[in-house]
Amino acid sequence: MALFGRSPFKPIQAHMEKSRACIERIKPIINAIIDNEPAEFDRLFKEISDLESEADIIKNDIRSHLPKSIFLPIDRRDLLEVLDIQEELPDTIQDIGIMLTLRPLKLPADMKEPLNNLIDEVATVCNQAADMVQEFDELVETSFGGKEAEKVLAMIEQINADETVADGTERAAAKKLFDLEKEVEVLDVIMWSRVINKLGDLADSAERMANRLRLMIAK
Amino acid sequence: MLETFSVFLGQAEGAAALFTETQLFWAYVIAIGAGFFMAWSIGANDVANAMGTSVGSGALTLRNAIIVAAIFEFLGAFFVGQHVSETIRKGILPLEELEKMTAIDVDTGEAVKIGANLYVYGMMGAILAAATWLLVATYFGLPVSTTHSIVGSVLGFGMVIFWDDLSVIEWTTVGKIVSSWVVSPLLAGGFSCLVFLVIQRLVLYKRDMVGAARKVAPFLIFLVLTIISLVTIYKGLKPLSDEWKELLGLLDLDFKGALLYASVIGLVGAIGSIPLLKRITVEEESPSEDTRSQNPLIGEELARLKTKIKKLTVIADGDVEEKLGSLGGKIEALSTQLEEQEASVKSSDAGKWGTPQMRATERIFVYLQILSACTVAFAHGANDVANAIGPLSGVITVLQKGALSAKSDLSDGWMTLILALGGVGIVIGLVTWGWRVIETIGKKITELTPTRGFSVQFGAAITILVASRAGLPISTTHTLVGAVLGVGFARGIGALNLRVVRDIIISWVMTLPAGAFLAILFFFILKAIFG
C-alpha cells in the first residue's frame, strides 16, 4: 500500500551513529596536536571528514522523504529540527579539526588536564544525547508515552544537568588558559580559546537536541 | 443437448418462453463465467490488502497467510455473503417496475413483457463491465474497488432502462450505499484507534509490558470472538439447514440467546489462550547490532545504481562497456548479499529493535493478530463475494423462476451453490495469483507490528462484518486504510502518507461514473446481440 511512508526514525538513528563516531575522535585528535603526532592527526581528520560527509548524505535523504503530506506520531517540524541540531555535531567537530590545522599550535603543559577534562565532559553529554536518540525505536513502539517516555525524560534531565557542569568546566578551562597567557603566544591563546568555545558549543547542541525531544514527547 | 441442459437446471416453463435455448445457454455461460472471473480477481487483488500486514509484521508466514485466507474467505463468503448479494440483486433496481415493463412485439403486434429480459441483459452487462474495468485498471496499475465497480455498473444499467422516469430507482438504497462508503473508513478508524489506545494505556505504557500483555490479551480475544460470533450468528447463517442449526443449538435465537452463545465462544477462546500465552517469555538480553538501521538506505541506493549502470551500459561501448559490466556484476552481488542478510535478520525475531520486553509483548500479540487476520478474511469474504455473484444470483433467479417479481427469491439450494462458487473463485484467485501480491505487500509493510496490525484488522473486521450484515457493499480496501489512519492518529505508526486519502476521495468520485458508463455500453452491446 502506498499508505505507508518511509519511517524517518531508523535513518535518524543511523545519522546519530555517525555523529557518535565523530565524538569518539575528538579526544584523540586534539591530543594528537598536543603530543605533536601529525600522522595520527591526519588520519583522524580524514576519518572525521568522511563521517561528516556520510552524515550529510543521510540527512538529505531523510529530508527528501519527509514532505508535508507525511503524517508522523510526533510533530514533523520538531523532528526536522532535531535533525538540524544533530547535524551540528559532526560539523562542529570537523570545524575543530580544521582550526587545529590552520597554524602550528602549542599547548602549555598546565592546560593539558583542564582541556582533557572539558573534552571528557563534552563527550559524555554528547554520548548521552546519542543514547537518547537510540531510544527512538522504543519510543515509537510505545507511541511516545508511558514508562518508556518517562525513562527518556529522565535522560533529558540528566543531559540538562551535565551540560551545566560542562559549562562550568568550559569557563574554568578558558580562565586557566588566560591565566597562562604570559607563557603562551597570543595567536595560540586565540586559537585554543576558540577550540574551547567550540567544545562548549557541542555540549550546547546536545542539550538543545534533548530539549526538542522533550517537546516531542509531551503531547 | 441443450434441452437436457435446461431440464438439468430445473427450468420453469416461464423461462423457456422468455429466452431461446441458445440465449439461455449464453446467459448462463456469461453470468457464471464473468462472475467467476470477478471472484478470481477479488482473490487475486483484494485479499492481499487484508492479509499483507499479517505477513509484514511476521505474525503469519506467507504459506500460513494463504491457508488462513483461503479458509476464512470461503467461510465468510459462504455463511454471511448473501446479505450484500441480495442488495445488489434487488436492492438498487425496482423489480416491480421492471416487472411491469412491456414492449410491442414486432411480429405479433402484442404487448410482451420484457422486464425479465432487460434485467438479465443488464446484470450480465454489469458484471462484464465491472470485470473489464478491473482488467483495465489492473493493467494500468490503478487502484480499483470491486465494490464500487459493481454498484456503479448496476446503477448505470438501471439508469439506462428507466431513463424516462429515473425516480423509480431505489435512490434511498443507493444513498445508503454511497454514504456507507464514506462512513466505513471513518468507523473503522474510530474502532481501530480505540482498540489501539486500550492496548497503549494498558500494555505499552507499563513497566511490565509482558505481564500486562498476558492479562489484557485474553480480554481482547474474548471481545474479538464474541463480537464476530454475534454478528455472524444473530439471525444469520442462512446456508445452514434447520437440522444443522438445531444440532448446534442455533435455531431461532433471539438477541439475548445469540449474545449468550457468542459469549461462550469468546470465553472458551480467551481461557484457552492463557496457557499458550504463558509460554511466551522475555528472552535474554543479547548484545544488539543495529545493522538494520543502514540497510534500507543501502538497498534503495543500490537499486538506483543498478538502473543507472544499466542505462550507461547501453550507450557505452568498448572498454567502458566492459568496465561497466563488471561494475554492474559487483553491485548485483552486493545487493543479493544485502537481501540475504536482511532475510536472516528478519527471520530471527523480526529484527533486534527495542527491548526484549517489547519484542516479547509483540510476540504475544502475534496470536491476537492471527485471530484478527482470520476475522478480517472472514469479513472480507462476506462483503466482497457479492461483487462477483450478486448479478449472477439475479440472473439465475430470473432464469429459474422464469419471471421477475419482487418476491422472487432464489431457492436455498441455488443460493448455497452460488455462494460456494463465489467462495471457491476467490480461493482460486488467491492461490494462483493473490499470494504474489500478499508477498509484495508483506515485504513493503514492515511498519505494522502485531499490536498495530491487530488493532487495524480488528477495527476493520467489525466494520466490514456489520456492514455485510446490513447488506451494504463497502470497499474493504478503503476501510482498512481508514483503520490504519485511526491507529496512526493514536501515534501508533511511524510514517503515513496522507496523499492516499486524497486518492481515495478521488476514486469515490471517479469509479461510479466509470462503472456506469461501461455498464451502459455493454448493455447495448448485449441487447444488440441477443435482442
CB-based contact, B198 to chain A, within 8 Å: no
Q: To the nearest 10°, the Cα dihedral for B344, B346, B349, B355?
A: 120
Mean pLDDT of B29-54: 85
Question: End-to-end CA distance of chain B, in Å?
Answer: 23
Report the alpha-carbon distance of residue B95 to residue B90 in Å, rounded: 7
Closest CA to B390 of B137, B86, B183: B86
Mean pLDDT of A13-28: 93
Report the alpha-carbon distance of residue B226 to residue B375 in Å, rounded: 11
**B224: its cell numbers:** 474479538
Is B160 a domain residue? Answer: yes
The pLDDT of residue B348 is 41
Closest CA to B237 of B406, B390, B247, B39: B247
- Give the residue numbers spanning the domain of B36: 2-282+349-530
Of B292, B294, B495, the CB nearest to A4: B495
Q: Are B134 and B36 in contact (CB under 8 A)?
A: no
The pLDDT of residue B500 is 83
The pLDDT of residue B8 is 44
The residues, any chain, with a CB within 8 Å of residue B303's CB and separated by 6 or more, are B335
Of A191-200, B186-195, B255-264, B332-341, give the lowest mean pLDDT range.
B332-341
Q: Which residue has the cell 509483548?
A: B361
Mean pLDDT of A154-183: 92
Computed from CA positions of residues B350, B351, B356, B357, in that sequence, does the dihedral angle turn out positive or negative? negative
- Which residues of chain B does A5 touch, with a Cβ-Cβ cutoff of 8 Å? 494-497
Q: Residue A1 pLDDT more than 70?
A: no
- In this structure, the number of other CB atoms found within 10 A of the CB of residue A179 comes to 13
* Paired sense of beta strands B496-497 and B102-104, if any: unpaired
Is B317 a domain residue? Answer: no
The residues, any chain, with a CB within 8 Å of residue A1's CB and separated by 6 or more, are B49, B52, B441, B444, B445, B481, B484, B500
Is B295 a domain residue? Answer: no
Report the alpha-carbon distance of residue B469 to residue B457 in Å, rounded: 18
Q: Are B468 and B382 in contact (CB under 8 A)?
A: yes
Q: What is the DSSP string of chain A?
A: -TTB---SHHHHHHHHHHHHHHHHTHHHHHHHHHTT-HHHHHHHHHHHHHHHHHHHHHHHHHHHT--TTEE-SS-HHHHHHHHHHHHHHHHHHHHHHHHHHHS-----HHHHHHHHHHHHHHHHHHHHHHHHHHTHHHHHHTTT-HHHHHHHHHHHHHHHHHHHHHHHHHHHHHHHHHHTTTTS-HHHHHHHHHHHHHHHHHHHHHHHHHHHHHHHH--
Q: Tell me the pTM.
A: 0.83
Identify the band that residue A93 occupies on the pLDDT scale cut at 50, 70 and 90. very high
**B404: its cell numbers:** 421477475
Of A161-165, B226-230, B276-280, give the lowest mean pLDDT range.
B276-280
Mean pLDDT of B283-288: 54
The pLDDT of residue B241 is 65
Is B274 a domain residue? Answer: yes
CB-based contact, B205 to chain A, within 8 Å: yes
The residues, any chain, with a CB within 8 Å of residue B24's CB and separated by 6 or more, are B2, B5, B6, B11, B15, B399
Report the alpha-carbon distance of residue B383 to residue B465 in Å, rounded: 7
Q: Residue B134 pLDDT more than 80?
A: no
Is B46 a domain residue? Answer: yes
Q: Are B493 and B487 in contact (CB under 8 A)?
A: yes
The pLDDT of residue B16 is 55
Closest CA to A185 of A131, A86, A96, A105: A105
Residues of A with CB under 8 A from a CB of B: 1-11, 13-14, 17, 58, 61, 69-74, 134, 137-138, 140-148
Identify the band that residue A219 occupies on the pLDDT scale cut at 50, 70 and 90. low
Closest CA to B386 of B478, B322, B473, B291: B473
The pLDDT tens digits of the residues spanning B358-398 come to 888 988 899 899 999 999 999 999 999 988 888 888 887 77
Report the alpha-carbon distance of residue A114 to residue B332 in Å, rounded: 52
Cβ pair A3:B358 closer than 8 A = no
CB-based contact, B443 to chain A, within 8 Å: no
Q: Residue B353 pLDDT more than 70?
A: no
Q: How far is CA B424 from CA A119, A174, B417, B477, in A?
A: 71, 81, 10, 21
Cβ pair A69:B52 closer than 8 A = no
Closest CA to B381 of B79, B5, B15: B79
Instruction: List the helix and strand counts (H, then E) for chain B.
Output: 21, 3
Mean pLDDT of B416-444: 87
Q: Residue A59 pLDDT more than 90?
A: yes
Residue with the bigger pLDDT between B293 and B125: it is B125
Is B312 a domain residue? Answer: no
Homologous superfamily in CATH for domain A9-217: Phosphate transport system protein phou homolog 2; domain 2 (1.20.58.220)
**B471: its cell numbers:** 447488506
**B147: its cell numbers:** 465494490
Mean pLDDT of A119-133: 94
Q: Residue B182 pLDDT more than 60?
A: yes
- Which residues of chain A does B216 touch, with a Cβ-Cβ cutoff of 8 Å? none
- In this structure, the number of other CB atoms found within 10 A of the CB of residue A168 comes to 11
The pLDDT of residue A157 is 95
The pLDDT of residue B479 is 92
Cβ pair B358:A147 closer than 8 A = no
Identify the band that residue B347 occupies on the pLDDT scale cut at 50, 70 and 90. very low
Identify the band that residue A11 occupies on the pLDDT scale cut at 50, 70 and 90. very high
CB-based contact, B411 to chain A, within 8 Å: no
The residues, any chain, with a CB within 8 Å of residue A183's CB and separated by 6 or more, are A108
Q: Residue B7 pLDDT more than 60?
A: no
Per-chain mean pLDDT for chain B: 80
Closest CA to B394 of B135, B34, B104: B34
- Which residues of chain B does A147 touch, with a Cβ-Cβ cutoff of 8 Å? 205-207
Q: Residue A35 pLDDT more than 60?
A: yes
Q: What is the DSSP string of B405-448?
A: -TT----HHHHHHHHHHHHHHHHHHIIIIIHHHHHHHHHH----
Q: List residues bridging with B496 in a β-sheet.
A: A4, A71
DSSP B317: -
ipTM metric: 0.86
Q: Which amino acid type is present at position B283?
A: E
Mean pLDDT of B59-77: 90
Mean pLDDT of B34-52: 86
- In this structure, the number of other CB atoms found within 10 A of the CB of residue A112 comes to 14
Q: Which helix (H) or strand (E) holds B113?
A: strand B111-113
Cβ pair B498:A71 closer than 8 A = yes
Per-chain mean pLDDT for chain A: 91
Mean pLDDT of B324-328: 80
Total number of domains constituting chain B: 1
Q: Residue B261 pLDDT more than 90?
A: no
Burial of B31 (0-12, 13-18, 19+ CB in 10 A): buried
- In this structure, the number of other CB atoms found within 10 A of the CB of residue B313 comes to 17
Of A5, A8, A143, the CB nearest to B491: A143
Q: Residue B439 pLDDT more than 70?
A: yes
Of A13, A17, A137, the CB nearest to B354: A137
The pLDDT tens digits of the residues spanning A140-164 come to 989 898 899 999 999 999 999 999 9
The pLDDT of residue B292 is 44
The pLDDT of residue A46 is 94
**A111: its cell numbers:** 592546560
Q: Are B448 and B157 in contact (CB under 8 A)?
A: no
